[in-house]
Amino acid sequence: MSQFKALVSNIAVLLILSLSSVLILAHNGEDHSLPKPNLPAENNLPSKYFHFKPTRIRRYYIQAEKVEWNYGPYGKDMFMGMDFSADNRPSNTTIGLKYLKAKYIEYTDKTFSTKKAQAPHLGIVGPIIRAEVGEQIRILFKNALEFPAGIHPHGVHYDKQSEGAAYVDNDKDMSFATPGSGDAVAAGATFEYIFNVPDRAGPLDNSPLSSIPWMYHSHALDEPAETQAGLIGFIVITRKGFARKNGSPKDVDREFFVMPKIFDEQTSFFLDQNIQKYLNASGQLTEAQYKAFKAGGLTASNQKDSINGYMSVNNIGGFDMCQGERVRWYVGTIGNVDLHPVHWHGNVGLEDGIRLVDTVFVGPGIARALDMDVDNPGNWLFHCHIDNHHMDGMVDIFKVYHKHSDFCKK
């Protein structure tokens, strides 16, 4: 019996001890059983272990600007040969085809006064940032928008200053965007991003590809609002010794960029401004109507299934090429449920240097290359192969001119 008593008293002591520890815990306001955050500030110092001596510095001057974008400049569904659907026509409950959007725009120098010409087919897609393996990219970024923005690159090497992404990455100050860094460049401010281009950013040694694509996009305080507004572009890294002066690969005749995307205007930073500009032009919009639009009343008509920001074969820049040419398509996207198998009619190509395909599957953050030895003349459709997406506008046409045509003699 004494053993039993001892056990009971032991249990009582244990209970008292654990009760008192609960009381002490309550007193200190700390639960020592929870893990502490472990984001050491010293991890965020520039890497001492990355000795990179660039062969050359390529400078870019890129400004983020507000533009009035038109998803359908021809004003007609050029795929079906008819008017755009009601969702894409302006009314008092639909915005239509014109929206305020954000776009990365390239300038010739740091005065940001002369725009650099951009391949017309790129549409809403930002300037192509090019470099050869071994080089360094320096982008003077100016934010002419009313909200913070930045450039977060994929693939290339950067330190924390040039990561271009805001999140708590240091538990000393728990700050979301590090002041003075490229995390979130304030409205009106500039920041110089520095990206190194080591081997790991370029094509593999045994790959037949001379260049590979990566995405870049804004990733500041509200990545979805910024990218849905339009802040997305491509980086192309060319194999050492394969770049022309402008960085494009010597061994291809033409390059085209394809960004299949459902632009979600409901999430865009400009939702409020778009409602005010296009649905309250008369000043008659009531608070109740406004609230209904904000709460999702525009959701269906605010989904723009597009390629490079154009719907239903409305890319005024066009995809023109010649029979017999080697054409490199770069396909990539950023977004929400942006899972798009892009299918080309009439011709096939080598996907990422691996196998012949006529359909390239991309999702947010993924960029692929398709090398097409164009052999089949014609005006050919290319489109997302998901039924709803291509019926809703994610479709365009590429033109393969006969090799003896005037277009190809030039």
Ligand X SMILES: *[C@@H]1O[C@H](CO)[C@@H](O)[C@H](O)[C@H]1NC(C)=O
Q: Could you say which DSSP state residue 17 is in?
A: H
Which does residue 280 touch among Cu ion, ligand X, none (CB within 5 to 8 A, set by kind)?
A: ligand X
Which does residue 231 touch among Cu ion, ligand X, none (CB within 5 to 8 A, set by kind)?
A: none
Which does residue 389 touch among ligand X, Cu ion, none (CB within 5 to 8 A, set by kind)?
A: Cu ion
45 or 300, CB closer to ligand X? 300
Cα separation, 330 vs 255, in Å, equals 8
Q: How far is the CB of 278 from ligand X (least distance, A)?
A: 12
Residues β-bridged to residue 47 = none
408 has catalytic annotation: no
Q: How far is the CB of 268 from ligand X (least distance, A)?
A: 17
277 or 399, CB closer to ligand X? 277
72 or 393, CB closer to Cu ion? 393
160 or 277, CB closer to ligand X? 277
Question: 203 to each of 197, 355, 358, 396, how far by Cα in Å?
Answer: 11, 16, 22, 29
Which does residue 340 touch among Cu ion, ligand X, none (CB within 5 to 8 A, set by kind)?
A: Cu ion
Cα separation, 98 vs 304, in Å, equals 11
Cα separation, 271 vs 264, in Å, equals 10
Q: Which residue is nearest to ligand X (CB)?
A: 283
Query: What does the binding site for ligand X look like in residue numbers (CB under 6 A)?
Result: 92-93, 280, 283, 285, 287, 289-290
Question: 396 to each of 277, 281, 330, 393, how far by Cα in Å?
Answer: 29, 32, 15, 8
Residue 95 DSSP SS3: coil
273 or 359, CB closer to ligand X? 273
Which does residue 68 touch among Cu ion, ligand X, none (CB within 5 to 8 A, set by kind)?
A: none
The amino acid at residue 319 is: F
Residues β-bridged to residue 142 = 63, 190
Q: Which of 384, 394, 395, 400 is catalytic?
A: 384
Alpha helices (H) along 230-359 = 271-274, 287-292
Q: How far is the CB of 230 from ligand X (least distance, A)?
A: 24
Contact criterion met (CB below 8 Å) for 193 and 157? no
Q: How far is the CB of 283 from ligand X (least distance, A)?
A: 3
The tokens 């030039």 sit on which residue?
A: 410
Catalytic residues: 384
